[in-house]
Amino acid sequence: MKVVSLFSGAGGMDRGFIRAGHTIIWANDKSRDACASYEENLHIKPLCEDIKKVEKFPPADIVVGCNPCQGFSMIGSRNPDDSRNYLYKEILRCVLQVKPKFFVIENVKGLRSLYAGRFFSLIINDFAAAGYNVTWRLLNAKDYGVPQDRERIFIVGVRKDLDFEYHFPDKTHDPMRLPYVTLRKAIGHLPAPKKGEYWDHNRFSFFYMSRNRRRPWNRVSFTIQASGRHAPLHPSSPPMKRISVDRWIFTGKIQNYRRLSIKECALIQTFDDTDKFMGSLGSQYVQVGNAVPPLLAQRIAEAFNVSVPSERPALKCAHLDLEPLVSQR
């Protein structure tokens, strides 16, 4: 099916949909570095513009969107007046205009509990009022072959006139199925990174030292975050030791502790081995950490690969041009 992608970033979600056989016909992000990475790796040129200035979206079967999560994150300020909280309305605007068969939205699990769940209910109700049957699920990426603990909410909408019920994919990995993909399997083959390929400042903040940051080779990684200085430690680092509530210490020399490189983070996120990321090292960490793991996105997308009813004629779009109209405001 044809897919329109919003808040595309470096293309993690879109890479997964492509792997599942779908076609990205249009993508958008306002980050210059992320757009450059997207074009480099997916060979699709996204519109690099603030989505609020986009007036027209092309016809599509599916709309996907991963709006910024900082306003919902459990480690952020969770400010109810954060303007980023309401960027989901740009996805809603696109859905109302395009009337796709389906939409998929991804965000952090903190969205579910924000303001005692009232904000999450608002989002669900807004998309239901737009004419969609809406379902959601909290998924952990490690259960689908991604070598990291990463819990995220996925919201899926099915247009109400379609005789179709979306079912989230079954787990593929757990103690009763396939074994989890470990750090050794994901990055054990990589050589030591060169200077400039990892965050090599030997400064670790109080927040960083408030929890364990090192997983051993035979386990999955901690969540890959959108920050080089908060990247998990490489499993070759010595163990950390907990000495009190929210306080851990290093048990070896500080120079023996190394954060995961950008390449290691990208492979743990299940990007392709050949993918490259543009911009400064800090920007690359942001792009990789913000992305939906392509393998998890692929599993989400494959659940659409069944017999789907055709779009009813009354909803066919009159315009055929795919170029977006960008306002000058």
Residue ranges per structural domain of the chain: 2-172+292-315
Longest Cα separation, the chain: 68
**Contact residues for 253 (Cβ-Cβ < 8 A; gap 6+):** none
Q: Where are the alpha helices (DSSP H) in the chain?
A: 12-19, 32-42, 88-98, 110-113, 118-129, 183-187, 262-268, 281-290, 294-302
pLDDT tens sequence across 178-213: 999 999 999 999 999 999 999 998 899 999 999 999
Q: Which residue has the higher pLDDT, 83 or 266?
A: 266
Tell me how far apart the alpha carbons of residues 232 and 209 are, in angstroms, rounded to a whole number: 11
DSSP secondary structure letters along 107-161 = EETHHHHGGGGHHHHHHHHHHHHTTEEEEEEEEEGGGGT-SB--EEEEEEEEETT
| Cβ atoms 224, 232 nearer than 8 A | yes
- Predicted local distance difference test score (pLDDT) of residue 321: 39
Tell me how far apart the alpha carbons of residues 301 and 22 are, in angstroms, rounded to a whole number: 8
Task: Supply the residues annotated as catalytic.
Answer: 69
The stretch 138-162 carries a mean pLDDT of 98
Backbone angles phi, psi at 40, to 5 degrees: -60, -40
- Predicted local distance difference test score (pLDDT) of residue 319: 34
For residue 129, pLDDT beyond 50? yes
CA distances to 14, 56, 107, 111, 283 from 74, in Å: 26, 34, 12, 9, 22
Residue 44, amino acid: I
**329 confidence band (pLDDT: 50, 70, 90):** very low
Check whether domain 2-172+292-315 has CATH 3.30.465.10, yes or no:
no
Tell me how far apart the alpha carbons of residues 267 and 187 are, in angstroms, rounded to a whole number: 7
Query: What's the pTM value of the predicted model, to 2 decimals?
Result: 0.89
- Predicted local distance difference test score (pLDDT) of residue 317: 36
